[in-house]
Amino acid sequence: MMSSAASGFVLVQQVPPNIQPDARNAVRPAVNSVLQKFLQGEPKALGTVQIMIGVTVFLFGIVMLFNMIAVIKFSGIMFWAALIYISAGSIAVAADKNPNQCLVKASLAFNVISAIVAAIAVVLHSIDMIIITSEMHYRYYRENSNSYVSNMSGITGVMIVFSLLEFIISICLSVFACGATCCSTDSQVFTEISGPEAPFLPPPDSLSMLNRYSYIKHPSCSLNHF
């Protein structure tokens, strides 16, 4: 603001400040609104759980490989199923960090396969549970048979629980991924990043008035009037 006194009047020049919006308050396009449906399923958290399940199943598979004679041992599902679980979880985590149609579709495919494999694993482990507790298998291991049956039954029960958990997680991620890929559109959602409040910007008409010179009557002149 600049002012100067002349002929009993004060000349006031008001210059509006050069207001620049804070860059942190700028509105920028965010992830495609359709991909937001996939992110609502928390793929990072569920993918991490899938990786942990895969590692655990693989380790238990090593134990079962040397201490068990059953269907699950000859099928080898505890190893290739673990690899599928880890792959599905890794792709889900990658899709959460960099959401795009390619990764979401890959996550959908791997989780569908993972759900099928987990269902097969549940069936095979259930069959093994029956075999372990059967009379034929009990007679095969006469020495320390009680401890063997209890140990192998416990491991098989844990594998069934992990397979069921993997099946549920894979189904959930498949549903969210299907909603993001099967209903894809070009719409975008815009998000505003919160930050410090931006200064008030007057309307354009007010700015044009501020750019003009305004004349204010000097107080001394008003005293002479009386």
Q: What is the pLDDT of residues 37-91, one digit of tens each?
A: 777 778 888 999 999 999 999 998 888 877 666 677 778 888 889 999 999 999 8
Long-range contacts of 95-103 (CB under 8 A, 24+ apart): 95/38, 95/43, 95/177, 96/39, 96/43, 96/44, 96/47, 97/44, 99/31, 99/32, 99/35, 99/38, 99/39, 100/35, 101/35, 101/181, 101/184
What is the DSSP secondary-structure string of 126-149? HHHHHHHTSHHHHHH--TTHHHHH
Q: How confident is the model at residue 27 (pLDDT cuts 50, 70, 90)?
A: very low
38, 175 contact by CB (below 8 A): no
pLDDT of residue 123 exceeding 80: yes
Average pLDDT over residues 14-19: 54
- Dist CA 163 CA 161 (whole Å): 5
Q: How confident is the model at residue 225 (pLDDT cuts 50, 70, 90)?
A: very low
Query: Where do the domains of the chain lie?
Result: 1-16+210-226, 31-191
Q: How far apart, in Å, do the first and last CA atoms of the chain sit?
A: 30
Question: Minimal CA–CA distance to 92: which of 83, 80, 105, 81?
Answer: 105
The angle formed by the CA atoms of residues 88, 186 and 48, to the nearest 5 degrees, is 20
Q: What is the pLDDT of residues 132-154, one digit of tens each?
A: 777 555 555 555 556 666 777 78
| Predicted local confidence at residue 17, as pLDDT | 55
Tokens 């549970």 identify what position? 129
Beta-carbon neighbour count of residue 187 at 10 Å? Answer: 8
pTM above 0.85, yes or no: no
